[in-house]
A and B are shown apart, each in its own frame.
Chain A
Amino acid sequence: MTDERHKGGASLTDLRKLRNQMPGWVLIILALAVAAVIVSRVTQLIILLTAAAVIAYILNSVIASIERLGIKRSVAVILLFVFSAAFVVAADLIFIPNINLDVMNFYAKLPEFSHQIQDALLSIAQSNAEKYPIIESSIMKLVDIVFGPDGFLERSLNASEIIMQAPPLIMALILVPFFVFFLLKDWPGMMKRMMGWVPPSYVETIISVIEEINILVGKYLRGLAADCFAVGALASAGLWLIGINSPIALGILSGVANIIPYFGPVVGCTASSLVALMQYRSFDPLLNVVALYLVIKLMDDLVIQPLLIGKGVHLHPMILVITLIVGEKLFGIMGMILGVPVVTAAQKTVGILLEHHRDKLRRESTESFIRTRPVQTPARPI
């Protein structure tokens, strides 16, 4: 066998000897450290790959349905992409011009809206200055954070900041469909290769993990879609009843924001409160809006979610909040959205692996007992 030399003079044989001498746990720690360094350098790429993997996972069932009609997988993937592209073009020609007009009108009127809100807040602060100075100082702080020279609104409207976000967005729009196409096309091959690495004694456990996660995530996504629709419909109806403008648009926003636990309802309530403030220039309707969203939140927690999502995908509230915080720190909004299904799937995986381990121990102790039990010799006839 030729002794291949690497840079630095170490041969493959030397490297193999070193690998064989090292304890297994040292190799694992080294591999994890190298992976962590690589991940920290290419975080953007990891995020895009994760997004592509999630999209491919969701679309895989659509591709499987097309395949069952007798169409080859690669053709099914191409068909899906062609239909998606046709849909995007149709939407661009039919819906987007109207939405563009609304968005441009909104941005044109935004300075006027923000002045109106700012004036409303300042007048409320002034009227409370003597009686409730703490309310006045809190409102002034809020006005500064949102409307100040370096405030949230100013930074959002800053054109240069928006333009600077464009290159990563363009890269995402090109790379994500590219990754999704090949992930979908090669999905069965990848699964087969992955199963090839699994030792025979772990096959059923790994299959259990994959299938249980599929069932859990499918149930969660379907339940979540129905839950968001229900919350959006309730918000629209409630806002219309209490006389707030744009109830349907606000209802849609509340429904979509409901994807993120805890924070979603806050986003919906805040948007509706701002509209109420602009409409009535008073805090009184805000009480109705907040009360409405509290009632919706209670109904969601006590009735809608248990019915639609069920107990199987629920996390303990403490774990849920930690998941949202860690998800946001690592992957932003996407981390908050994906955090719950990821952690629930991880919980299920650990449960299945522990069950496998317990079953293995039980079987080994039974086999050991059978091997070592004394052989019963028949009594000799007298």
Chain B
Amino acid sequence: MGKKLLRKLLIDLVEKKYTAGDIIFHEGEIGKAVYVILEGSVKIVKESNPENKTLHVLGPGSQFGELALIGQTSRFATAVAEQDSLLLIMYKSYFDDLLRRNNAISTGILLNLAEILSDYIHRNQPE
């Protein structure tokens, strides 16, 4: 994410601090926002998996939560703050507007999603 865009987001969006262990959203919830990590780290966990598998651990500069907004479905996994974190919260209408106005961002997000889904499918393929 470029500095110019990040500065714009810092002006337009709301920040929130999460303490370690806070659940940002649950698997199965209806998604209404995308999150951008400014400080700290967040792990994405598949709660419905009996082993409670950690799918990803994301650090500063990463975004998460866009899958539910693009597909207009419920949350695919649970997001938990791994350590004390500061997140930017982007509501869905702002996210949709950003995708429409900025081709580079929409391409980047879609590529990122394709990578995550491909990784998930490979890891869960029956042997």
Contacts and interface: CB of A to CB of B under 8 A. Distances in A.
Contacts of A380: none
A195 B18 CA distance: 10
Contacts of A359: 29-30
A174 interface: no
Contacts of A303: none
A286 B88 CA distance: 60
B93 A200 contact: no
Interface in A191-221: 191-192, 195-196, 198, 200-201, 203-205, 207-208, 210-211, 215
Contacts of B24: 200, 203
B48 interface: yes
Nearest to B21: A200
B94 A211 contact: yes
Interface in B1-55: 7-8, 11-12, 14-18, 22-26, 28-33, 48
A64 B12 contact: yes
Interface residues of B, number: 25
A198 B16 contact: yes
Contacts of B8: 68
A195 B91 CA distance: 14
Given A204-B32, A208-B91, A363 B26 contact: yes
B69 to A, nearest CB: 11
B14 A204 contact: no
Nearest to B26: A363
Interface residues of A, number: 25
Nearest to A204: B32
A351 to B, nearest CB: 13
Given A198-B16, A211-B94, A68 B11 contact: yes
A201 B23 contact: yes
Contacts of B14: 191-192, 195, 207, 210
Contact of B48 (A64, A207, A370): A370
Interface string B77-117: 00000000000010101100000000000000000000000
Nearest to B28: A363
Contacts of A200: 18, 22-24
Would you list the 8 A-B pairs with minimal beta carbon distance, nearest first? A211-B91, A204-B32, A195-B16, A200-B22, A67-B11, A363-B28, A204-B33, A208-B32
Interface of B: 7-8, 11-12, 14-18, 22-26, 28-33, 48, 89, 91, 93-94
7 contacts: A64-B11, A200-B24, A204-B33, A207-B33, A208-B91, A211-B91, A367-B28
